[in-house]
């Protein structure tokens, strides 16, 4: 019977037996960059890569490494370790470890979280008239947001003091615990309850911000709102939002437009609409008027015989296009007003006009010859 030679785990990675976990990871990354199939297509290199990966899987696991240090071989068929033979759930080295080898594994690095964090965005509404939406306006707004503490300048500590390393986690920001299970030893980690994961504590917090590094305050912000905005449009003011914890960079401030309803004009995007009441006699004879628009004044000509419901379009008298050029149009809707009360003289004149025009009695309107039923009738009549 031939006795198998014990596997040299440390020699395979080229490290000493007392190498730290970081030294082992660094050695694996170096070999993986040389032997990975995408880099080195040689079959011997591929076999070597698989061996290096299996060895790193063992040495990166504290429980499996302890088996190696005691003379065992976790990769052997009866070694009780991980890998294809012993672990029904597969090995611990996967795509993430391979990516670590090529890109440094920065995304997987654990450690204390920073007290300095990005601030949140803030939102404030502002009411604008239709005229202000059309021309643009600069508004001085009072906003209540978190600002950097003026005493500690974001540090959160009292004057003359600094934060110190947490005694519970020794600055790691987390506490690790090893538990035994049916699958072996399982290592779990959780944020340190003393420092809440920061890795340091503040013995003497700032009296103004109580260690937060920021305080609530009211300040004035000028918002330059461009022409063409409308209801619900948000204008972003970069860096004018909430200061982050620990004096972190502020977020953005969004100014949301709430358009006040106009008494004369209604808006549909860049198009404006209004209604003009024209007396019956003026509609019959024709007239003109000066119409005050949002941006200018326009002469409005109403031709003789204008009917109620007629729409006159004034070009470029609507709203300006936001982030564009030119304006929309203003649509003037004509509504002919029929008098509801007339005196005796007016009634006499109207009867005389009706007689002259032969309009004493109403008539049933004839069906249009261009209608669909007329066309069907003509079609069958032609057969």
Count of domains for the chain? 3
Note whether 248 and 298 are same-domain residues.
Answer: no
CATH number, domain containing residue 224: 2.60.260.20
Do 188 and 176 form a contact (C-beta atoms < 8 A)? yes
199 domain residue, yes or no? no
Is pLDDT of 163 > 60? yes
Note whether 121 and 34 are same-domain residues.
Answer: no
Note whether 221 and 349 are same-domain residues.
Answer: no
Mean of the pLDDT values across residues 133-144?
Answer: 94
Domain boundary among 261, 284, 300: 261
Nearest-angstrom CA–CA distance, 227 and 308:
34
Instruction: Specify the higher pLDDT residue, 145 or 33.
Output: 145
- pTM for this one? 0.60
Q: 36-45, 61-70, 144-153 — which one is most confidently predicted on average?
A: 144-153
77 domain residue, yes or no? yes
Q: How much is the pLDDT for 136?
A: 94
Domain with 63, as residue range(s), is: 9-108
Note whether 225 and 117 are same-domain residues.
Answer: yes
Q: How much is the pLDDT for 371?
A: 53
Query: pLDDT, tens digit, for every residue of 312-365?
Result: 999 999 999 998 889 999 999 999 999 989 999 999 998 998 898 888 777 777
Q: Select from 56, 139, 160 the least CA-distant residue to 98.
A: 56
Note whether 289 and 339 are same-domain residues.
Answer: yes
Rounded to the nearest angstrom, the gap between the alpha carbon of residue 13 and the centroid of all alpha carbons in its chain is 46
Query: pLDDT, tens digit, for every residue of 66-88?
Result: 878 877 777 776 544 433 333 33
Q: How much is the pLDDT for 306?
A: 94
Q: How much is the pLDDT for 88?
A: 32
Q: How much is the pLDDT for 376?
A: 46
Q: How much is the pLDDT for 90?
A: 38
Note whether 142 and 235 are same-domain residues.
Answer: yes
Q: How much is the pLDDT for 177?
A: 80
Instruction: Specify the higher pLDDT residue, 148 or 50.
Output: 148
Query: pLDDT, tens digit, for every residue of 233-256?
Result: 999 999 999 999 988 899 999 999
Note whether 353 and 302 are same-domain residues.
Answer: yes
Is pLDDT of 259 > 70? yes
Q: How much is the pLDDT for 374?
A: 56
Nearest-angstrom CA–CA distance, 295 and 183:
79
Instruction: Specify the higher pLDDT residue, 291 or 373.
Output: 291
Q: How much is the pLDDT for 354?
A: 87
Instruction: Specify the higher pLDDT residue, 49 or 287.
Output: 287
Domain boundary among 237, 261, 285: 261
Domain boundary among 77, 108, 139: 108
Note whether 305 and 347 are same-domain residues.
Answer: yes
Mean of the pLDDT values across residues 131-148?
Answer: 94
Query: pLDDT, tens digit, for every residue of 175-197?
Result: 888 777 666 677 778 889 999 89
CATH number, domain containing residue 47: 1.10.287.110
Is pLDDT of 97 > 60? no
> Within a 10 A sphere around the Cβ of 306, how many other Cβ atoms?
19
Note whether 283 and 141 are same-domain residues.
Answer: no
Is pLDDT of 96 > 50? no
Q: Give the DSSP letter string of 186-203.
A: EEEEEE-TTTTTSSEE-S
Q: How much is the pLDDT for 178?
A: 77
User: What percent of the chain has pLDDT above 70?
Assistant: 83
240 domain residue, yes or no? yes
Nearest-angstrom CA–CA distance, 375 and 361:
30
Q: How much is the pLDDT for 108?
A: 40
Residue 31 parent element (H or E): helix 21-35
Do 243 and 219 form a contact (C-beta atoms < 8 A)? no
**Is the alpha carbon torsion for 3, 4, 7, 12 positive or negative?**
positive
What letters, b where the CB count within 10 A reaches 16 and e where it falls short, cover 34-45?
A: ebbeeeeeeeee
Instruction: Specify the higher pLDDT residue, 106 or 198.
Output: 198
Instruction: Specify the higher pLDDT residue, 92 or 128.
Output: 128
Is pLDDT of 226 > 80? yes
């Amino acid at each position: 019977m031939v006795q198998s030679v014990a596997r040299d785990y440390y020699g395979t990675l080229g490290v000493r037996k007392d190498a730290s976990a970081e030294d082992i990871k660094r050695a694996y990354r170096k070999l993986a960059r040389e032997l990975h199939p995408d880099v080195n297509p040689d079959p011997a290199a591929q076999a070597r890569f698989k061996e290096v990966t299996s060895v790193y899987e063992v040495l990166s696991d504290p429980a499996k490494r302890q088996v190696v240090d005691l003379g065992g071989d976790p990769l052997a068929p009866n070694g009780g370790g991980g890998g294809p033979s012993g672990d029904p759930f597969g090995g611990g080295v996967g795509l993430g470890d391979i990516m670590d080898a090529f890109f440094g594994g920065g995304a997987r690095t654990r450690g204390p979280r920073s007290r300095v964090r990005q601030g949140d965005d803030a939102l404030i509404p502002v009411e604008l008239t239709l005229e202000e939406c059309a021309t643009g306006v600069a508004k001085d707004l009072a906003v209540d947001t978190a600002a950097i503490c003026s005493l500690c300048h974001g540090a959160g500590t009292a004057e003359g003091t600094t934060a110190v390393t947490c005694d519970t986690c020794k600055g790691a920001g987390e506490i690790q615990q090893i538990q035994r299970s049916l699958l072996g030893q399982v290592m779990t980690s959780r944020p340190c309850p003393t420092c809440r994961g920061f890795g340091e504590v503040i013995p003497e917090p700032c009296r103004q911000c109580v260690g937060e590094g920021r305080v609530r305050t009211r300040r004035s912000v000028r918002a330059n709102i461009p022409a063409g905005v409308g209801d619900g449009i948000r204008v972003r003011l970069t860096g004018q939002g909430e200061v982050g914890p620990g004096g972190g960079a502020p977020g953005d401030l969004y100014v949301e437009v709430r358009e006040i309803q106009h008494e004369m004009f209604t808006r549909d995007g860049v198009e404006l609409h209004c209604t003009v009441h024209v007396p019956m006699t003026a509609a019959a004879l024709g007239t003109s008027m000066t119409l005050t628009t949002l941006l200018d004044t326009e002469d409005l000509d109403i031709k003789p015989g204008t009917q109620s419901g007629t729409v006159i379009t004034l070009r470029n008298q609507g709203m300006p296009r936001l982030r564009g050029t030119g304006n929309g149009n203003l649509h003037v809707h004509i509504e002919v007003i029929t008098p509801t009360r007339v005196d005796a003289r007016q009634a006499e004149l109207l009867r005389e006009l009706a007689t002259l025009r032969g309009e004493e009695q109403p008539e049933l309107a004839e069906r249009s010859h261009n209608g669909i039923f007329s066309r069907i009738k003509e079609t069958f009549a032609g057969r």
